[in-house]
A and B are shown apart, each in its own frame.
Chain A
Amino acid sequence: MRETTIENLSRRRFLQGSAGLTLGFCLPSLAVAASAGKSPVSTFEANAFLRIGSDNTVTVLSKHLEMGQGTYTGLATLLAEELDADWAQVRVEGAAADAKRYNNLFWGPSQGTGGSTAMANSWEQMRKAGAAGRAMLVSAAARQWQVPAGEIVVEAGKLSHPPSRRTASFGQLAEAAAQETVPAEIRLKDPKDFKLIGKTAKRRDSADKTNGTAKFTQDVQLPGMLVAVVAHPPQFGATVQSFDGSKTRAIKGVVDVVQIPQGIAVLARDTWSAKKGRDALVVQWDDSRAFKLGSDEIMARYKEMAKKPGLVARQEGDAAQAFVAPAKVVRASYDFPYLAHAAMEPMNCVVQLKADGCEVWNGEQFQTVDQGRIAQLFGLKPEQVNLNMLYAGGSFGRRASTHSDYVLEAAHIVKAINGRAPVKLVWMREDDMRGGYYRPLFHHALEAALDGSGKLLGWKHRLVGQSILTGSPFESVMVKNGIDHVSVEGAANLPYAIPNMLVDLHTPTDIGVPVLWWRSVGSSHTAFSTEAFLDEVAAAAGEDPLALRQELLAERPRYLAVLKLAAEKAGWGSKLKAGKAGERRGRGIAIHESFNSVVAQVAEVTVAKDGSLKVDRVVCAVDCGTAINPDNIRSQVEGGVGFALSAILHGEITLKEGRVEQGNFDGYAPLRINEMPKVEVHIVPSAAPPTGIGEPGVPPVAPAVANAIAAATGKRVHRLPIRPADLLA
């Protein structure tokens, strides 16, 4: 997912219009929840994002999914800052699906989480929600105490009036505050007065996630619920010809076997029985419309396509002229495989049809899209589909499905049994691994023209790969003149000052493998090709890789500051400690902007004689605007390094005759702790509005490592994942 030019426009409007911004606040209200044996807790709903209970709890409603990236903590930090709440009294709940109140402000009228936008789009919205609540508490206190509002002090969840020595907690004033009107004008704090922003507010989900009580979709249990495990076709596009469910039905616990468009669903009282039932199915598949190519054949086709010009994504100066008689030409191509997200929690979804609508439990990343599709399937209005957003056990983009694939699969099963029971669809690991929606396979070809002094005169970059957005609900906004923005992001906006540039794209449309955004999207491949290639150019020009970047970024102070910080902290230019006998060591640098944040990384690697690679240390420098929670920024970048290394060292989904060859973590191996390098994260101080951090730590890792390998061995990496055979001494 991405910010587009559209999003950037809407951001500008948001900032300009912020003085009198309508926040879409609902009217304040007082809800009373009484339960047997307990004294009733009344709740002051200040607005769509804030509830204060008479029990002194402050509940922040998160419109965004918490999938590990720290959103719940971050959004609550913003609100609590302006509310002047005590961090210990703050709780976070997932908000309902409601495109009117909870839309992503960068996405127009659509609710969803992605493109590292959660904090950036909520930066003012959540602070204003907190400030509005604070103002209402202050008015209530002023009225009750008969004192001027200006004399009331709010600190750490308490209001006080020092002259009269009166104090009250938020909880004590909650009922009275609900009677106040929403302030027309809201003033936000001067950043110098921040108490939570820029400090380290502890994660709000740490306790539940360390004692087993955190609720994921996988953990939902409802009365009468059936668990569904599905037999999916072995190739994309294949369908059911016939099936025999007699052996399945004989298994204890199995309740039903139904055909759905996605395959055959086995419903059982429990997961294990459903899985056994699914494995006992005998299905004849109709492969007449299946996609039957292998990934090697796909790559061979792409290499053919790359011989011809594609659609132009960027043109500067006259690239053709620059290549007419250059002193030197550097050429390289780079191959990228399909990658699975392989979140630890395989895809799953719970759907219950009710008399007046439909209830869904999901690690919900794309509320408005999923809500619309489910409503359509059941003939309901979108608002009749209630989405309960639970924690997601990772996503990395997978739960933001452009086609609502697994969510609709669950809904189809419920439809097939006429809604007679709630159903939890559970994908086994193999279903998840083979379920498609991969980071697309890509081929890149680059050429650089240098003059006699080694100066970079021309840059040509051709990309070949499937479009993620074509055919999605976002196509009209993000695919322009045949160019899918996310296919070329990071390549078409290359920041280097090169006088003549041409970036062009081929988008094959006859490849039947579903593709999707994978943490950092286009930048997951464009950062590698551009930054690894730049080092090849530097070598050809006889320049230091850091010095060349500084020269080409002379007009980009934000980049320069990030580069400088990374280089300094890593000791760029100092001698690396030698390895053991036969080991080759090297250091490499890369810088990349994604999701409006700039990250530079310096990797140190050791390559053994047999070509095996150890990444020892990665030093990261980050400019993501205002650092709302520095510890979470470090955490995201540390994790981003590990996520990227999984792909660099091992990650590859391959197809043979259209069948995905990997099924579990043996064939598709994520990084393990023994492969995790030391990671240092340094943050460039900034007062600018916050930009993304969930994804930007990922892109520079691969090129920094490849450049370090080249420094160690002289060998350039031209395909991922890195194969030890390519690095033999």
Chain B
Amino acid sequence: MIQLNINGQSVQLDVEPDTPLLWALRDSLQMTGTKYGCGQALCGACTVHVDGSPVRSCSMPVSAVVGRKVTTIEAVDAERVGKAVQAAWRKLDVVQCGYCQSGQIMSAVALLRQNRKPTDADIDAAMSGNLCRCATYVRIRAAIHEAARSLA
């Protein structure tokens, strides 16, 4: 049994220690907002926060997050930055297929927590690990600026 802290709750999981956090979330906890895209930390669809920093949960074994705080898309609206980012995404209708957007939002929230007034270059640097095959990038940039304005 492995004990994890997910979205402020303590959970016990019967999984092998090498199981990636992604699959523990999705298959053991039925928290399916975090997505599988590549399994190699190349696409960012599986991005969650561990102790506030964005990590690729597909390449992070559960054993590595014991004793640390994991936040997923399901709880990102618990704080102001998360709410602002989601609201900006909706206001600008950023999404298309939507599959990558949980990861995009988690990366955007992490950026805005660090940098309340990111430039396009800051956004490109922080978000280039998150692929969007629909290429919603124009709106992702605009929505991050929008969220930054609403947080100012």
Contacts and interface: CB of A to CB of B under 8 A. Distances in A.
B149 interface: no
B43 A671 contact: no
Nearest to A252: B16
B136 interface: yes
A672 interface: yes
Nearest to B24: A272
B148 interface: no
A445 B83 CA distance: 54
Interface residues of B, number: 57
A68 B100 CA distance: 11
A664 B127 CA distance: 19
A374 B31 CA distance: 30
Given A252-B16, A673-B130, A212 B138 contact: no
B124 A393 contact: no
Nearest to A275: B39
Contacts of A227: 27
Contacts of B74: 211-212
Contact of B37 (A392, A429, A632, A638): A429
A135 interface: no
Interface string B13-41: 00110011001001110111111111110
A646 B125 contact: no
A676 B135 contact: yes
A344 B42 contact: no
Given A212-B102, A272-B27, A218 B97 contact: no
B93 A206 contact: yes
A581 interface: no
A665 B96 contact: no
Contact of A642 (B28, B32, B135): B135
A203 B139 CA distance: 14
B39 A428 contact: yes
A345 B32 CA distance: 13
B132 A344 contact: yes
A212 B73 contact: yes
A643 B97 contact: no
B124 A673 contact: yes
Interface in A182-220: 202-203, 205-216, 218-219
Given A270-B28, A642-B137, A343 B97 contact: yes
A639 B134 contact: yes
Given A68-B134, A211-B73, A206 B95 contact: yes
A332 to B, nearest CB: 29
Contact of A344 (B37, B72, B90): B37
A70 B94 CA distance: 11
A429 B38 contact: yes
Contact of A646 (B72, B101, B135): B135
Contacts of B137: 642, 671-673, 676
B55 interface: no
A205 B90 CA distance: 9
A231 to B, nearest CB: 16
Interface in B98-114: 98-102, 105
Chain A interface size, under 10 / 10 to 19 / 20 to 34 / 35 or more = 35 or more
B50 interface: no
Nearest to A216: B99
Given A210-B86, A211-B73, A252-B16, A665 B134 contact: no
A9 B35 CA distance: 43
A524 to B, nearest CB: 15
Given A272-B27, A646-B135, A673-B128, A210 B99 contact: no
B98 A391 contact: yes
B90 A207 contact: yes
Contacts of A346: 36-37
Interface in B57-108: 72-74, 77, 86, 89-90, 93-102, 105
Contact of B135 (A270, A395, A631, A641): A641
B123 A67 contact: no
A642 B73 CA distance: 25
Nearest to B23: A272
Interface in A653-672: 664-666, 670-672
A370 to B, nearest CB: 19
Contacts of B130: 673
A713 interface: no
A271 B97 contact: no
Interface in A600-646: 631-632, 635-636, 638-643, 645-646
A221 interface: yes
Interface string B128-152: 1011111111111100000000000
A349 interface: no
B97 A391 contact: yes
B23 to A, nearest CB: 4
A641 B135 CA distance: 8
B4 interface: no
B17 to A, nearest CB: 12
Given A272-B23, A639-B136, A670-B131, A209 B98 contact: yes
Contacts of A393: 35, 97-100
Contacts of B33: 211-213
B43 to A, nearest CB: 5
Given A207-B90, A211-B74, A213-B33, A673 B95 contact: no
Contacts of A643: 133-135
A271 B27 contact: yes
Query: Looking at A218, A645, A665, which has the most chain B CB atoms within 10 Å of its CB?
Result: A665
Contact of B26 (A203, A206, A271, A345): A271
A397 interface: no
A272 B97 contact: no
B105 A670 contact: no
A666 B101 contact: no
Contacts of B141: 673, 676
A678 interface: yes
A503 interface: no
Nearest to A665: B42
A218 B35 contact: yes
Given A219-B32, A676-B138, A392 B97 contact: yes
A305 interface: no
A68 B96 contact: yes
A391 B130 CA distance: 20
B136 to A, nearest CB: 6
B93 A210 contact: no
B42 A664 contact: yes
A345 B35 contact: yes
A681 to B, nearest CB: 10
A394 B135 contact: no
A210 B95 contact: yes
A673 B132 CA distance: 8
B113 to A, nearest CB: 18
B134 A394 contact: yes
A138 B15 CA distance: 59
A275 B36 CA distance: 13
B39 A344 contact: no
Interface of A: 67-70, 202-203, 205-216, 218-219, 221, 227, 252, 270-272, 275, 342-346, 391-396, 426, 428-429, 631-632, 635-636, 638-643, 645-646, 664-666, 670-674, 676, 678-679
29 contacts: A68-B134, A206-B89, A211-B74, A211-B77, A211-B86, A219-B26, A270-B23, A271-B23, A272-B23, A275-B39, A344-B37, A344-B131, A346-B36, A346-B37, A391-B98, A392-B97, A393-B99, A428-B39, A429-B39, A429-B40, A632-B93, A635-B96, A642-B132, A642-B134, A642-B138, A646-B135, A672-B131, A673-B137, A674-B124
Given A68-B98, A393-B100, 7 more contacts: A68-B95, A70-B96, A272-B27, A344-B37, A673-B128, A673-B132, A674-B128
Give me the 9 closest cross-chain CB pairs, A-B, nearest first: A212-B33, A642-B135, A393-B99, A209-B98, A68-B97, A68-B96, A212-B73, A219-B32, A676-B137
